[in-house]
């Protein structure tokens, strides 16, 4: 697909990192800044598929659901796959509206739409046997034990934050709505899709069923970029560049990397799993599947990164 990009927005592009709980209006204000850059890309003729994280929003929704259930036990708790779907819808609305408003400022007629997206995972994925992804609020040990017994939640201690629910984070295998997304983009419509890594589903014969899991957003974005044969995968991170020795006196930014260099640095422990690791893995997967160009940078530098002025470029 000519002049197409998948832009993976991290949580820093959706919420104020200094706010414990972000109101919808707070999120709108943060999103509008990034939306102006995306609108500028569309004005230049790019068709974009925008993906996004939803960790804070899912956590807030699960907390609201839990508090409502505790106050009135007849109110059922929202299952995790439904929470993912709900936040995909609300964030998709927010991003589409912000981009449309930015396009109107430039009198650009490009179209954009949100697609609630399911992503198939493998029921046999080892991640289901060893859940590691924290979701929702923290609890004391007694309440964590009670929730574990009453609701069947797996609970682990999140260092410094108390006990939290953990769920599986399986690898994405197939994007169910990919044919629809591809057709929309071929018709010139940009798309907001695969929010939060997609709603995780498993196949049971010819049926789909949601499961309690969280798919890594960057891995799902890489799979999407491969399926769309996108020219560019742009991963929006909290930092302007990927760095060697991050946080150390010897820290230095990396402007350009080959996929092979990225793999060697990843194996050497330069990119931890809790921060840059999944982004580098996603970049390598896209390039090894035939992709040609990955950019990693922060929200204010998306346009400058695409034209080569800043950010980290990873190529085959």
**Cα–Cα distance measured from residue 39 to residue 47, given in angstroms and rounded to the nearest whole number:** 10
- Token pair 């509008």: residue: 32
- Residue in 12, 162, 203, 210 annotated catalytic: 12
Burial of 244 (0-12, 13-18, 19+ CB in 10 A): middle
Q: Are 292 and 315 in contact (CB under 8 A)?
A: yes
Strand-pairing partners, residue 294, are 233, 314
279 given a catalytic annotation: yes
DSSP state of 23: -
Q: Is 156 designated active site? A: no
Strand (E) or helix (H) holding 165: strand 162-167
Other CB atoms within 10 A of residue 149 CB: 9
Q: Of these residues, 53, 197, 217, 305, which one is catalytic?
A: 217
Of 59, 279, 293, 301, the catalytic one is: 279
Which tokens is 27 given? Answer: 């999120």
Tell me whether residue 269 is one of the annotated catalytic residues. Answer: no
Catalytic residue among 133, 171, 263, 315: 133
| Token pair for 111 | 């179209």
Contact 172, 223 (CB under 8 A): yes
Question: Which amino acids are annotated catalytic?
Answer: 11-12, 133, 217, 279
């Amino acid at each position: 697909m000519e002049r197409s990009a998948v832009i993976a927005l991290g949580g820093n592009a959706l919420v104020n990192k200094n706010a414990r709980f972000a109101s919808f209006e707070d999120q709108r204000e943060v999103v509008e800044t990034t939306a102006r850059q995306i609108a500028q890309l569309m004005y230049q003729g790019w068709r974009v598929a925008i993906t996004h994280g939803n960790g804070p929003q899912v956590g807030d929704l699960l907390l609201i659901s839990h508090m409502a259930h505790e106050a009135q036990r007849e109110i059922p708790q929202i299952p995790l796959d439904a929470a993912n779907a709900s936040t995909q819808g609300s964030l998709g609305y927010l991003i589409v509206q912000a981009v449309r408003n930015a396009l109107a400022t430039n009198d650009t007629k490009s179209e954009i739409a949100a697609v609630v997206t399911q992503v198939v995972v493998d029921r046999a994925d080892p991640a289901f046997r060893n859940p590691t992804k924290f979701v929702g609020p923290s609890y004391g040990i007694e309440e964590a034990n009670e929730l574990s017994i009453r609701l069947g939640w797996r609970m682990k201690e999140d260092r410094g934050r108390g006990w939290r629910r953990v769920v599986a984070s399986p690898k994405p295998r197939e994007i169910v709505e990919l044919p629809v997304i591809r057709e929309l983009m071929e018709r010139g419509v940009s798309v907001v899709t695969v929010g939060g890594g997609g709603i995780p589903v498993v196949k049971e014969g010819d049926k789909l069923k949601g499961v309690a899991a969280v798919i890594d957003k960057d891995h799902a974005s890489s799979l999407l970029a491969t399926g769309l044969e996108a020219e560019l995968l742009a991963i929006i991170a909290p930092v302007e560049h990927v760095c060697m020795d991050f946080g150390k006196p010897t820290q230095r930014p990396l402007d350009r990397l080959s996929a092979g260099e990225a793999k060697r640095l990843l194996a050497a422990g330069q990119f931890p799993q809790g921060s840059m690791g999944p982004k580098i893995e996603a970049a390598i997967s896209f390039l090894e599947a035939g992709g040609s160009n990955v950019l990693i940078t922060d929200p204010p530098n998306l346009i400058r990164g695409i034209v080569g002025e800043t950010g980290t470029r990873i190529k085959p």
